[in-house]
Structure 1
Amino acid sequence: MGSNQGDPEASIEEALQRLEHYGNDLVFDAQSPLYKTEPQGKKDQPWFTNCVVRFKVGSDIWAPAGLLSTLQAVEGKMGREREPGNEGGPRNIDLDLLLFGDVQMQDEYLTLPHPRMLERAFVLVPLRDIAPGFVFADGKTIDQALAALSYTLEGRNISQK
């Protein structure tokens, strides 16, 4: 979850509440602390507030594409507009699906695990908070993935080159 427009912390809280009330087959399980993170790509914008959240889902009800569609519906209800050419730009809310259990897939709609998560300290640091022993499908631990990145962590601020 991330935001850098308006009140980012309130936007993240609103998105979390919307998801928690989506149905009893989508159950909140854990949330990392909030981090202030330097924008990647387009640097001329406010820093983001980011966190990683884990939900337990009814696997017989939810499929990865359905969960992504739900995340995008919540973004839309919160006023997020996806503008071509604004990838990486400012937004009031951004909800990405990073993982769905051990599912690995790639199609035009969804790639799992998220294709850029191993490049992003603002994803890996909070993921480590809620899953410190996480191991990727290739056997790499989350600490090994972080060690491969050039980033700084000062308190709850993450900057990355």
Structure 2
Amino acid sequence: MLEEYGDEITLKSFSHTYLTEPQGEIKDQPWFTNQIIKLEIDAEIWAPSGFLSTCTAIEAKMGRQRQEPGGPRPLDMDIIAWGDLELESDFLTLPHPRAKERAFVLIPLKEVEPDFVFPDGTHIDEALNAIDYRMEDNKIWQD
């Protein structure tokens, strides 16, 4: 899908995929597959809000219907960070407001960016050490 954006968006790296038990209230559903991809995006062409709109359109093309939060879905694309930008609007908060609480974000993020530091100065290792989770092969459990 990135080919249609030419030089505007470049895939830099991507993590392995990880299986995560459903979080939140809806536990009776298939496990989620999570992956982090690192993109280089031309900031003169793309703003975070426009990129999020494109992600939402891709989700819809893949059959996502936004019904119940945390429910099953074929695809869920989130922007975790946009460089060191901090942003809070009605539809987008950067960095992602729950990224530091989620092993299924932090583990693959560390894989593609081992020295990642959140804009507040929190190193990815600090964030991982602050949460309770366990891993077995590519499966992640978190309470």
Structure 2 equivalent of residue 9 of structure 1: none
Whole-Å Cα distance in 1 between the matches of residues 60 and 38 of structure 2?
21
How many Å separate the matches in 2 of 1:22 and 1:93?
A: 19
Unmatched segments (≥5 aa) in structure 2: none
2 CA distance for matches of 1:139 and 1:101? 13
The TM-score with structure 2 as length reference comes to: 0.96
Deviations 1:46-92 (A, max 9, x none): 11111000110001000000110010010011111112xx1011001
Equivalent residue for 2:73, pick from 91, 102, 117: 91
Give the distance between the partners of 2:121 and 2:97, measured in 1 at CA. 16
Query: Shift of the alpha carbon at 1:34?
Result: 0.4
Cα offset for 1:22? 3.3
Aligned to 1:45: 29
Q: 1:61 aligns with which of 45, 53, 56?
A: 45
The equivalent residue for 2:134 is 152
Separation in structure 2 between the aligned mates of residue 139 and residue 81 of structure 1, nearest angstrom: 36
**Alpha-carbon distance in structure 1 between the residues aligned to 2:18 and 2:31:** 10
Q: What one-letter code is carried by the residue in structure 2 that aligns with 1:73?
A: A
The residue that corresponds to 1:79 in the other structure is: 63
Q: Deviations over 1:10-69 (max 9, x none)?
A: xxxxxxxx2x22312011111000001111102111111110001100010000001100
Give % identity.
48
* Matching residue of 1:103: 85
Structure 2 distance, partners of 1:135, 1:56, is: 17
Amino acid at match of 1:29: K
Runs of 4+ more than 4 Å apart: none
2:9 to 26, 50, 59: 26
Question: 2:16·2:35 contact (CA, 8 Å) conserved in 1?
Answer: yes
1:114 — aligned with what?
96
Scaled by the length of structure 1, the TM-score of the pair is 0.85
Q: Secondary structure at the match of 1:23?
A: helix
The CA distance in 2 between the partners of 1:48 and 1:78, in whole Å, is 16
Q: Which amino acid aligns with 1:151?
A: Y
2:9 aligned partner, one-letter code:
L
Distance 2:130 2:21 in 1: 18
Aligned residues between the structures: 141
CA RMSD of aligned residues (A): 0.8
